[in-house]
Structure 1
Amino acid sequence: MAEALVDLWVRDTAVDPDPGQDGSDAGSLDEHERERWSRLTDASAARAYLALHLLARSEVGRLLGRPPGSLRFDRTCPDCDRQHGRPLLVDDPGLHLSLSRAGTVVALALSRSGAVGVDVEQGAGTRFEGFGQVALHPSEREGGVDNALAWVRKEACLKALGVGLRVEPASFVTPRAGVLTEVVGGMPSLTVVDIDAPAGCAAAVALVSRPGPFEVRHH
């Protein structure tokens, strides 16, 4: 049986700009993406958002042999039916994807092996009073836990399960890297691994899959 595989892209858009990041290729975005992009008033955040979504469309389009602008995504939120939920590829539901953005750093994960979740976070973003109550299980609040690593592992898992922050990160212990774990009772088990990220950031990717390791192919 072939090993499960996740294709991964991590970019710092401040030092690794992509063509079109200036907005010249924004025409390939759909109406929802353009509306979200236009509402970002911080220039660096807007560039990062645009770069991430152009990257996703470019790589998915390449895999499917389709023009990036022709791809259709459904982001229906199960709670309110608005278009801000996990992106699902209408044209090929068997190709799972996940996107993450923290400051100027962006990450994209694609997999046909199962539902995938990727998360990147700036370490500084987890150093605030009350973080433990928001993100850490009571058994983790005595110290010895890397806040940023705990956060990205948990959020990657919740994104892979499709529940996002509707499940409180503090309700479960940070899963160990490389170990198949049931993080939410009654939902599929998954495996999370840490991935390289630019200085000052932490990142992780999770895959809902069979027991055993999965390969992360960096691009």
Structure 2
Amino acid sequence: MAEAVVDAWVLDTAASPAPARGSADAGALDDHERERLARLADGPSVRAYLELHLLARSQVGRLLRRPPGSLRFDRTCPDCGRQHGRPVLLDDPGLHLSLSRAGTVVALALTRSAPVGIDVDEVEGTRFEGFEEVALHPRERGEGAAGAEAQGRATTWVRKEAALKALGVGLLIEPASFVTPRPGVPSEVVPGLPRLVVVDIAAPVGHAAAVALLSADGPFEVRHH
């Protein structure tokens, strides 16, 4: 069996001199994306959201040889039915994607191997009282536990978030309800749901990022762009 491959992009939109990929014209977005964009208040968030979704559309369009603005996505949440769940490409459901945004840093994962999840977060974003109760399984808490220092806490969080995104359950499953998956080791993080593998990926300074892929076969290749 060929090794699973995930293409991943993690970039800081504040550091790029121009829109990262494709046209900056929001007309390439669909109605849902334009509505979300209009609700963002500050310039950096607007630019990050726009660049992330244009990046996703341009890369998917390149693979399918389709205009980015013609792509159709369904984001139905399995819990409430609203359009804020994992994006599914209606034009080609076998191409799996996942998006993440933390401040000005954005991340995208694409693969045909299996459902995928990507997450990026700011290290400073995990510095809050009660982090252990929100993010860590009881076995991970206490002195010397996973995520005890800032970078470790952020790494723990993105691994769990990526895993939940790959499973398509989002925060319907509490991050504190399962032990953080070990990188490269197939894990059943939620009983009865598929096993998955998580790997850490490079991120800008002050951030952590991870990718998760539904798989019972072990590590997979991540192609960084």
**TM (normalized to structure 2)?**
0.94
Gap change, CA 1:12 and 1:194, over 3 Å in 2? same
- Indicate the residue corresponding to 1:124 in structure 2: 124
Is 1:159 the counterpart of 2:165? The answer is yes
Over aligned residue pairs, what C-alpha RMSD do you find?
1.3
> C-alpha separation between the residues in 2 aligned to 1:153 and 1:142?
19
How many pairs were matched up?
218
Deviation at 1:141, TM superposition (A): 1.3
Which of the numbers 172, 176, 188 marks the counterpart of 2:178? 172
Residue identity matched to 1:165: L
> C-alpha separation between the residues in 2 aligned to 1:188 and 1:28?
35
Deviation at 1:147, TM superposition (A): 0.8
Residue identity matched to 1:73: F
Structure 1 residues 64-143: aligned runs within 5 Å? 64-143=64-143
Deviation at 1:17, TM superposition (A): 4.5
**TM (normalized to structure 1)?**
0.97
Gap change, CA 1:17 and 1:78, over 3 Å in 2? farther
Gap change, CA 1:18 and 1:61, over 3 Å in 2? farther
* 4+ aligned runs moved over 6 Å, structure 1: none
- Indicate the residue corresponding to 1:10 in structure 2: 10
Which of the numbers 212, 217, 220 marks the counterpart of 1:211? 217
Residue identity matched to 1:117: G
Deviation at 1:24, TM superposition (A): 4.0
> C-alpha separation between the residues in 2 aligned to 1:17 and 1:50?
15
1:84-119 C-alpha deviation (Å, 9 max, x unpaired): 111000000000000000000000000100000000
Deviation at 1:140, TM superposition (A): 1.1
Checking the alignment, whether the CA contact within 8 Å between 1:18 and 1:51 is kept in structure 2 is no
> C-alpha separation between the residues in 2 aligned to 1:147 and 1:81?
32
> C-alpha separation between the residues in 1 aligned to 2:20 and 2:205?
25
1:183-214 C-alpha deviation (Å, 9 max, x unpaired): 00000000000000000000000000241221
- Percent identity, aligned pairs only, is 73
Unaligned segments of structure 1, at least 5 residues = none
> C-alpha separation between the residues in 1 aligned to 2:42 and 2:107?
19
Q: Secondary structure at the match of 2:205?
A: coil
- Indicate the residue corresponding to 1:32 in structure 2: 32
- Indicate the residue corresponding to 2:153 in structure 1: 147
Moved more, 135-144 or 33-42: 135-144
Residue identity matched to 1:45: S
Moved more, 141-150 or 102-111: 141-150
> C-alpha separation between the residues in 2 aligned to 1:209 and 1:24?
36
